[in-house]
Structure 1
Amino acid sequence: MKEKTIDYILRSTWMGVQKMYNEEASKKDSTMATGFALISIDPEEGTPSTALGPKMGMEATSLSRTLKNMEAKGLIERKPNPEDGRGVLIHLTPFGKEMREFSKNVVLRFDEAVKENISEEELKTFTKVANTILELINSKKIYTKKIA
């Protein structure tokens, strides 16, 4: 193809971001998935394990593996949910809170670098385009016509 498709641009950009985050996370013997989970867990109240998957856009099996690894590394602990006897709250350990701060700073530095190199107007346009694409996907408006 002469021109790159929108799909190609999105995919290659995200793969680059993912690689960059994993390289930064590896400096602390971690992964992007672990960093994302750390940022998604409420550092004070904990987060129900059932809420993490949807919040992170992760499948249950991947999330389960990530949480198991995080628990083994001493980043999290599981406690019974006092409001739901069947549920479990994921809490950050002191080490988990420290690593959460590291992960948060990695994300914020990425945001800063982008904002230093892209105008506010361009970022507004990017956000509008990305939200429109997401809306098209979520409303299932892309593949509505049958292909013969």
Structure 2
Amino acid sequence: MKNKTIDYILRATWQTVSRMYNEEAAKYGATMATGFALLSIDKEKGTPSTALGPKMGMEATSLTRTLKSMEEKGLIIKKKNPNDGRGVLIYLTDYGKEKRALSKSTVIQFNDSIKKHISDEKWDNFIEVAETINKLIQDKEIFNQSENKENEIARITKDKK
């Protein structure tokens, strides 16, 4: 993977991880999105539905489908938000809490397995690189530099000659 672009490596790795989690979740009649939602909902206080999408990085339509499926399976219940009558709080049922524990143990098993195969230094480097990528993107330091983009286009054009 040495000559691959950063985005290719991230996407290919995420697709592999996603496929692995979905295969594991399917054994329990669930999906990775369901497991992630279970882990994103506060198990004691519930979570506002409007906070879940941004927390999970999911679009509203996908989240709505996931929550509907979870409600039908008895994993969650929805209640009006007492502090905001227009809002809805999502709570885990006892069954949802059981499945949340299963999701958590699956994630921990994945993390532990990966950490057995890489050094602490490499793990720390991985975290640092991921945090740097996120910060550069959040701070809009990638595409908002038109001068850098023009220089890069000139370099690519020159390299092709």
Number of aligned pairs? 148
Residue 4 of structure 1 aligns to a residue whose secondary structure is coil
Give the distance between the partners of 1:24 and 1:83, measured in 2 at CA: 38
SS of the residue corresponding to residue 125 of structure 2 reads helix
Q: Which runs of 5+ in 1 are unaligned?
A: none
Paired position in structure 1 for 2:68: 68
TM-score (norm 1): 0.95
Q: Matches of 1:110 and 1:140 in 2, distance apart?
A: 32
Q: How far off its partner does 1:20 sit?
A: 0.6
Q: Partners in 2 of 1:46 and 1:35 — Cα distance? A: 16
Q: Is it true that 1:10 corresponds to 2:10 in the alignment?
A: yes
Structure showing greater relative contact order (alpha-carbon pairs closer than 8 Å, 6 or more residues apart): 1
- List structure 1 segments (4+ residues) > 2 angstroms apart after TM superposition: none
What amino acid maps onto 1:69 in structure 2?
S
Local SS of the residue matching 1:51: helix
Deviations 1:10-52 (A, max 9, x none): 1111111101110110010000000000000011111111111
| 1:73-96 CA-partner distances (Å, limit 9, x unpaired) | 111110111121211110111111
Q: Which residue of 1 aligns with 2:111?
A: 111
SS in 1 for 2:42: coil
State the partner residue of 2:36: 36
More helix by percentage: 2
Within 1, Cα distance between the matches of 2:123 and 2:3?
Answer: 23
Q: What percentage of aligned pairs have identical amino acids?
A: 63
**Correspondences of 1:1-148 after superposition (within 5 Å):** 3-143=3-143, 144-145=145-146, 147=150
In 2, distance between residues paired with 1:130 and 1:45? 30
TM-score normalised according to structure 2 size: 0.87
Question: Which amino acid counterpart does residue 9 of structure 2 have in structure 1?
Answer: I
Give the secondary structure class of the aligned counterpart of 1:89: strand
Over aligned residues, Cα RMSD in angstroms? 1.5
Which AA in structure 2 matches 1:24? E
Equivalent residue of 2:71, what SS?
helix
- Whichever of the two has the greater Rg, that structure is 2
Q: Which amino acid aligns with 2:140?
A: K
